[in-house]
Chain A
Amino acid sequence: MTEEGEKLLSIKDLKTHFFTERGVVKAVDGINLEIGKGKILGLVGESGSGKTVTALSIVRLVSYPGKILNGYILFQNENLLEKNEREMRHIRGNRISMIFQDPMSCLNPVFTVGDQVAEAIRLHQDIPRSEIEQSVVNIFEKVGIPDAKKRLKEHPHKFSGGMRQRVMIAMALSCHPDLLIADEPTTNLDVTIQLQILNLMRKIKRDFKTSILLITHDLGVIAEMADHVAVMYAGKIMEYSDVVEVFSNPLHPYTKALLESVPRLDVETRRLRVIPGTVPELLNPPDGCRFSPRCAYTREVCRKEVPPLIEIKRGHSVACLRMNDIDTERGDNNV
């Protein structure tokens, strides 16, 4: 897994498990990821595949009974897993910021939005009180909130979903972080607002050279936004490549199946393909390849051996034991 340019974040062999009463849930089980400076990495996968846990692991906010067991997370050449809580607090919001899925509930209802953005600034920067309002207005204008001076004195309930997400983005950007983690930032917004928010994020990447970890299950969003894509399934990375390669030449059966289950206007098909079954319960993940119970190309070997993530060509890695065979063979378990 190499890529051109400087790396901002690299995750090596990260394992985050949850120790529940029923057993150990291996939510993230040995993943490797890299994000280049000023790049967008899209992390795709079904619900429950470990995307959000990966994000929370980066900022060390995995809550009890979850635990990061293994690996290291190098951020600007510092291992985040060796930081203490105070150092992490300084990094969160300052160098790494997060925006969340639901903008409706992410703002504190009792304070004005201006207050909240000002607070995010004050947490990390020593700016005199008199100048804070101006910097809040500046950020509001940057994220496209019209009439910023007036609106920052309003409470969150007067804002629409899209506007709230802009406020969240304004808070996240207030300290010019190097990495922005966006956990399904557009999932709860309607499509026109989605597009606006995505455009805003692209602008942020361009203007501030901010790297973005974009977590989503929407392949359309990935195609629009990402430079590189990591496909995650049941706590493991299945395929990693640049975005063009993934969409034009997917090699992992799971990636292929995902792409085939997206409705397309330009290709004529009678019915959409679905992937049979559901994401396995991570209390008892299947032996061998975790996708093997649902894969159309499964052979005996898939159920025994865990496929390693192998770089087959520059910048394109796949974790499948049979990827060389499946080009010549049609899936026979699929309907």
Chain B
Amino acid sequence: MTWSENWRRFRKNKAALIGGLIVLAVVITAIIAPVISPYNPDDVVAGRLQPPSNKFWFGTDGIGRDCLSRVVWGSRTALMVGLGASLISVIVGVAFGSIAGYYGGIIDDAMMRICEILLVIPSFFLYILIVSIFRVRGPEYIAVLLALTGWTELAKIVRVDFFSLKEREFTKAAIGLGASDIHIIFRYLLPNDLAPIIVVATMNIAGFIIMEAALSFIGLGDPTACSWGIMLSQGRQYIGYAWWLATFPGLATFITAVGFNFLGDGLRDSLDPRLRGTI
């Protein structure tokens, strides 16, 4: 169960490696977007609806902006929403699940009911409701919104894992040595539950990126933002004669989501002891 052993296992897994490389490529693209994008994504650089050519690889959109530049810059939005929402949901979900799982009893009961209330509300309608009531549209708001309902799965996972981890002998031994609650949670329970948390958080990123695209597509995003979902929705009206408008941002979304899913799967195979059959 060492990290070098996990890395070796991970390297052997082809899909995981491909996923990792895709994610790496997307991250690098997002970081160096100003350097690699040929034009400013918001500038009108040519006539409208130019098909892909040597000058404009992905063509131009309805008002004459370069699609390639917009797809490149869109990776920033996608990653920000995906990573941001995942980070928030990890913090909230792990904190929530830890408290419920460690203390159990009435505390656990109350907290799980809160979880379930969130789970039974169709999240899409909740998003639409919140966006239309509060008129918040930027990608950062979407990240918070997605995390708002996305943390429940993590909370449930952490909670059940804590139930079993706190009964393990090493935890009991630590309590016998006079360790405090906080100490037990941070030194004994969480570190032993890191693998599933990492796996679920990675898989969630893919889901959040797709959700962001979907929300933007139905018009809940910021129409001026450079986002794949927005590009998709704006390209929809031209789909009959300007195929490139929706195709490239769609592909970008798809490839990124597949990358995070492969990565998550690979991490699960190499990290999660329950699927490996040994501990």
Contact = CB atoms under 8 A, between A and B. Distances in A.
Contacts of A120: 177
A108 B188 contact: yes
A94 B1 contact: no
A91 B177 CA distance: 9
Contacts of B1: 109-110, 155, 157
Instruction: Determine which residue in B172, B174, B178, B192 has the highest number of CB atoms from chain A within 10 A of its CB, and name it.
Output: B178
B176 A93 contact: yes
A208 interface: no
B9 interface: no
A106 B175 contact: no
Nearest to B175: A61
A124 interface: yes
Given A110-B191, A124-B178, A168-B173, 6 more contacts: A61-B172, A91-B178, A93-B177, A109-B192, A109-B279, A123-B183
Q: Give the interface centre of B177, B192, B194 by most chain A CB atoms within 10 Å.
A: B177
Which among A61, A89, A97 has the highest number of chain B CB atoms within 10 Å? A89
Interface of B: 1-2, 168-170, 172-180, 183, 187-188, 191-192, 194, 279
27 contacts: A61-B176, A89-B179, A92-B175, A92-B176, A92-B177, A93-B176, A93-B178, A97-B176, A98-B177, A100-B169, A100-B172, A105-B168, A105-B169, A105-B170, A106-B170, A108-B174, A108-B192, A110-B191, A110-B192, A110-B194, A111-B187, A120-B177, A123-B177, A123-B179, A123-B183, A157-B1, A172-B177
A198 interface: no
A106 B170 CA distance: 4
B272 to A, nearest CB: 14
Nearest to B279: A109
A97 B177 contact: yes
Contacts of A227: none
Interface size class of chain A, counting residues whose CB lies under 8 Å from the partner chain: 20 to 34
Contacts, number: 69
B177 A171 contact: yes
A109 B3 CA distance: 12
Contact of A90 (B2, B178, B194): B178
A59 B191 contact: no
A170 B93 CA distance: 37
B38 to A, nearest CB: 47
A89 B183 CA distance: 12
A125 B137 CA distance: 54
Contacts of B177: 92-93, 97-98, 120, 123, 171-172
Contacts of A59: 176
Contacts of A13: none
Contacts of A326: none
Nearest to B104: A64
Contacts of B179: 89, 93, 119, 123
Contacts of B170: 105-109
Contacts of B2: 155
Question: Which A-B residue pairs are the 9 nearest by beta carbons?
Answer: A93-B177, A93-B178, A92-B178, A98-B176, A105-B169, A110-B191, A106-B173, A108-B170, A106-B169
B176 A119 contact: no
A119 to B, nearest CB: 7
Contacts of B194: 110
B189 to A, nearest CB: 10
Nearest to B5: A157
A133 interface: no
Interface string A125-166: 000000000000000000000000000000101000000000
Contacts of A311: none
Contacts of A100: 169, 172-173, 176
A59 to B, nearest CB: 6
Nearest to B194: A110
Given A105-B168, A110-B191, A89 B180 contact: yes
B177 to A, nearest CB: 3
B169 A94 contact: no
Interface string A76-113: 00000000000001111110011110100111111100
A179 to B, nearest CB: 12
B101 to A, nearest CB: 15
A92 B178 CA distance: 5
Nearest to B189: A108
Nearest to B190: A110
B178 A94 contact: yes
A109 B173 CA distance: 13
Nearest to A101: B169
Contacts of A124: 178
Query: Which residue of A92, A99, A108, A172 has the most chain B CB atoms within 10 A of its CB atom?
Result: A108
A90 B178 CA distance: 6
Contact of B187 (A61, A108, A168, A172): A108
Contacts of B191: 108, 110-111
Contacts of A91: 178
A300 to B, nearest CB: 44
B29 to A, nearest CB: 34
Most buried by A among B172, B173, B183: B173
A108 B175 CA distance: 12
Given A109-B1, A123-B177, A102 B169 contact: yes
Contacts of A93: 176-179
Interface in A43-75: 59, 61
Interface string A250-276: 000000000000000000000000000
